[in-house]
Amino acid sequence: MPEIFGIPTAALFGQLLIGLINGSFYALLSLGLAVIFGLPNIINFTHGAQYMLGAFCAYFLLQKWGLGYWWALLIAPIAVAISGVVIERTMLKPLYKLDHLYGLLLTFGLALIIQGLFRNEFGSSGQPYPIPPELTGSRNLGFMFLPIYRAWVIVASIAVCFATWFVIEKTRLGGYLRAATENPELVQAFGINVPRMITLTYGFGVGLAGLAGVMAGPIYQVSPQMGSDLIIVVFAVVVIGGMGSIMGSIVTGFGLGVIEGLTKVFYPEASNTVIFIIMAIVLLIKPAGLFGTQK
């Protein structure tokens, strides 16, 4: 069996693949957080719960109406986004002028409510979600077997990430958005409806979390807790990357996923903590984050 550094290549590439998969979710979720960060004084603690909502939405669509994965991929993010818009309109809006800590406490409370309700209904065990028939099976690449669904997740999340990056950095709409976070009064004076824009931004960021949830269903199972631990890691990813740049959160997300995967191969004891350790090191060297600018 071929080896690299005394590790069988199959194990190495296997963990690298898992790392890329985890990285896809880190990237999608931290991207959503970065988009929402444009909102005044809001960090979205509910993000993990909304990721879980996306997965459950897909699960319900399949169980209740027999609508499969591809429909879920379309409907679930929109449903989660709509629920996000309702939350923003009714609860987050009054908080913009207050200290940042209230936005954090409110979204944390919402996360507890959502997760608690689902735990009441489904307990702690996960519900299986089947891989869509078009994407089952795997391909032999010579050095490893690549399950097609996992390849799809990586490709799809890269595509979504770059599409988001393109919209925000390269289009007129994205330009408005960036201007509105920089100086809302001025942009408002130009006749752009900034409050509506903020609402839609929150909806979009949350929708990304819902999309990630649908894609995660067939890999991790659908369970009420799937988001709560993940979101803490994603926060660390956000601190490492710095929230300033969209591209930064994409690169950091994938990069850290891969590093975590490699740690599982070379020093498994640290695989749970490696991202937090990297965060500590980054804070010592470059407190603003790798791609961030200190305000």
Partner 1 sequence: MKHQKIAFLAMAALVVVMPLFVYPVFLMKVMCFALFACAFNLLVGFGGLLSFGHAMFLGTAGYAAAHSAKVWGFPPEFAILFGTACAFVLGIVTGLLAIRRQGIYFAMITLALAQMMFFFYLQTPFTGGEDGIQAVPRGRLFGFIDLANIWAMYATVAVIFLGGFLLIYRVVHSPFGQVLKAIRENEPRALSLGYDTTRYKLLAYVLSGTLAGLAGATKSLVFQLASLTDVHWTMSGEVVLMTLLGGMGTIFGPVVGALIIITMQNYLAQLGAWVTVVQGAIFVLCVLTFRRGIVGELANLLKKPL
Judged by the rule CB under 8 A, the positions of this chain that interact with partner 1 are 43, 91, 94-95, 98-102, 104-106, 108-117, 119-120, 228-229, 232-233, 235-236, 238-239, 269, 272-273, 276-277, 279-280, 283-284, 287
CB of 192: closest distance to partner 1 in angstroms? 26
Q: Which is nearer to partner 1, 99 or 169 (CB)?
A: 99
Q: Which is nearer to partner 1, 8 or 268 (CB)?
A: 268
CB of 49: closest distance to partner 1 in angstroms? 10
Q: 3-state DSSP call for residue 222?
A: strand
Q: Which is nearer to partner 1, 237 or 250 (CB)?
A: 237
Q: Nearest to residue 253, comparing CAs of 240, 271, 269, 267?
A: 240
CB of 233: closest distance to partner 1 in angstroms? 8
CB of 65: closest distance to partner 1 in angstroms? 27
CA–CA gap between residue 281 and residue 241 (Å, rounded): 12
Q: Which is nearer to partner 1, 69 or 118 (CB)?
A: 118
Q: Which residues pair with 147 in a beta bridge?
A: 138
Q: Which is nearer to partner 1, 114 or 200 (CB)?
A: 114
CB of 176: closest distance to partner 1 in angstroms? 24
CB atoms within 10 A of CB 226: 24
Which DSSP symbol is given to 89?
I
Q: Nearest to residue 205, comparing CAs of 21, 29, 23?
A: 29
Structure tokens at 208: 């990304």
- Contacts with 101 (C-beta within 8 Å, 6 or more apart), sequence order: none
